[in-house]
Amino acid sequence: MAKRKQRDDSFNIHPLVHMWARTRLKPEEQQKKATEAFIIVSTAVTTDTIRVLQDWDFERRIMAHIVAVEGHMKPVEIVDERLLKGGYMLGYVYSTHGQYSMALEWYVRVLAGKEKVLGVDHLSTLTIVQKIASVFDDQGRYGKALEWYGRVLSGREEVLGVGHPDTLTTVHDMALIFSKQGKYGKALQWYGRVLVGREKALGVDHPSTLTTVHNMALIFGQQGQHGKALDWYGRVLAGDEKVLGVDHPDTLTTVHNMALIFNNQGQYGKALEWYGRALVGYEKTLGVDHPSTLRTVHCMASIFETQGQYRKALEWYERALAGKEKVLGADHPSTLTTVYDMASIFGKQGQYSKALEWYQRVLAGEEKALGVDHPDTLTTLHNMAFILTEQGQYGKALDWYERVLAGEEEALGIDHPSTQDTIYSLVTLYEIMEQQEQAQELRMKLHLPLPSSPILVTTPSTTLAVDITTIETLEALEARGIIVGEKVARPRAEMGMERVSDEEVVSKRRKLGGELF
């Protein structure tokens, strides 16, 4: 009835034994034992900044116990110190495994307890508010995240002062949100505030200071200022190697992102060389199946894809996928990103049915983990609509594009680049279907934002860079014989890894067809 498993030195108790034990206990004794079990399970979790394979594997193995125990805790008010700590730990586990709704549920319960016991502006209370903000960030609900971060910032400025490291951490996290929203100027302004404060309080080579320099370098890269990005990354790398060592995960993250810059410059050989350096370090320090290791494997696959080496790219994507499914699970956002990119290769190879099959897997996972209106979910829908257009299923493609547009207008706004991409795709589709009135109506919603770098466009004879800051309308492009986003996947716009306290990773999905940027 009870067996010991040698593999992980644990016990497996038959469900009948569980049932028998419960029925022999009085309700108050059941609640007492459930509370004790809750504390035991929650204290088994680690919140170390550097997480290794064993942490992920252990949490996945005890997840069934967490779910079972928390069911008994629903009627319990979380005010006892041990229960508050336990609730915080469960919120952390759910968040790191992509179960954001459950994470929010526990963080909100802990917040209620902290506010009751300590008050709304206590520093411990504000820490939970910060965690709630970070979950909204993970969900792509950036407006909500900024609202909650704003509460933290006000409280910490009042209690700790504007230059305190914890206050600066909140400013840093808000800068990260602005970066994700594409508000690069505002993000740099807020990062600049953090940098001045951290250099003054901590020193120029402190890891936290270097993290801010790192994220500013990342923005320069996103703006297409590759030379400036490499200069700033160089400062970070020198500091990392001096303070942390060549194989520290933060050092390797900088190496990884420098590889990304070389990739964006079209220096694919050099990019592979630097990714290779990061990969060797990650395998040595964290293990072959650690998420950071697998992320670098994924990025190397993306270079092979960019080079048109689809078979080799699929081999490397498959390695990344196998590791992510093992460590993170089939529905983790990072796992789904790899499935997504494999689907894009099948689409490029003209294997449209297979591409739709793999996109469908991504869509199911994203709707479950992120929600139906999350930007990543909508991007997957966009690409499925593109494949349907290629197959000539125009009616179905139209339905899906319209769903994407409605979601993006609500979540991102009409002027967001992704929303504009979708509008252009719809205009193209309406024209294919010879519905000129609808096409013209949508054209009125097209506004070409003014990025700081040129975009790649196609003429009948060549591909060239055009500075769209000099172009006011889509018609102006077409009058010059330029076709924007002509039914091809745009060049990969992989974003580098931001460095934050819990090693959050930012990824950017690209859309197929009809893209302006």
Instruction: Quick: pLDDT tens for 53-74.
Output: 455 556 565 555 566 566 656 6
**460 within a domain of the structure (yes/no):** no
Q: How many domains does the chain have?
A: 1
pLDDT, mean of residues 46-55:
53
Sequence-ordered alpha helix ranges (H) in 223-290: 226-243, 249-264, 268-285
> What integer pLDDT is reported at residue 503 of this predicted model?
30
| DSSP three-state, residue 328 | coil
> What integer pLDDT is reported at residue 88 of this predicted model?
82
**56 within a domain of the structure (yes/no):** yes
**6 within a domain of the structure (yes/no):** yes
For the cut 70, the answer to whether the pLDDT of residue 34 exceeds it is: no
For the cut 90, the answer to whether the pLDDT of residue 398 exceeds it is: yes
> What integer pLDDT is reported at residue 122 of this predicted model?
94
pLDDT, mean of residues 304-331:
94
For the cut 70, the answer to whether the pLDDT of residue 330 exceeds it is: yes
The CA–CA distances, whole Å, from 292 to 95, 97, 486 equal 17, 15, 35
Dist CA 474 CA 422 (whole Å): 14
**pLDDT cut 70: percent of the chain above it:** 71
- Given a contact cutoff of 8 angstroms between Cβ atoms, the answer to whether 380 and 359 are in contact is yes
**497 within a domain of the structure (yes/no):** no
Dist CA 399 CA 238 (whole Å): 52
For the cut 50, the answer to whether the pLDDT of residue 482 exceeds it is: no
> What integer pLDDT is reported at residue 29 of this predicted model?
62
For the cut 70, the answer to whether the pLDDT of residue 289 exceeds it is: yes
For the cut 80, the answer to whether the pLDDT of residue 42 exceeds it is: no
> What integer pLDDT is reported at residue 84 of this predicted model?
79
What are the backbone dihedrals phi and psi of residue 206, each rounded to the nearest 5 degrees, phi first? -70, 140
**499 within a domain of the structure (yes/no):** no
445: burial class by Cβ within 10 Å (0-12, 13-18, 19+)? middle
pTM value is 0.65
pLDDT, mean of residues 492-517:
40
Dist CA 229 CA 484 (whole Å): 28
pLDDT, mean of residues 409-416:
84
For the cut 90, the answer to whether the pLDDT of residue 457 exceeds it is: no
Range of the domain at 108: 2-117
CA atoms within 13 A on the CB side of 88: 22
For the cut 90, the answer to whether the pLDDT of residue 479 exceeds it is: no
Q: Is 459 left (phi over 0), alpha (psi -120 to 50) or beta?
A: beta
Angle (nearest 5°) at CA 234 between 233 and 235: 90
Structure-model confidence comparison of residues 75 and 239, the more confident one: 239
- Given a contact cutoff of 8 angstroms between Cβ atoms, the answer to whether 467 and 179 are in contact is no
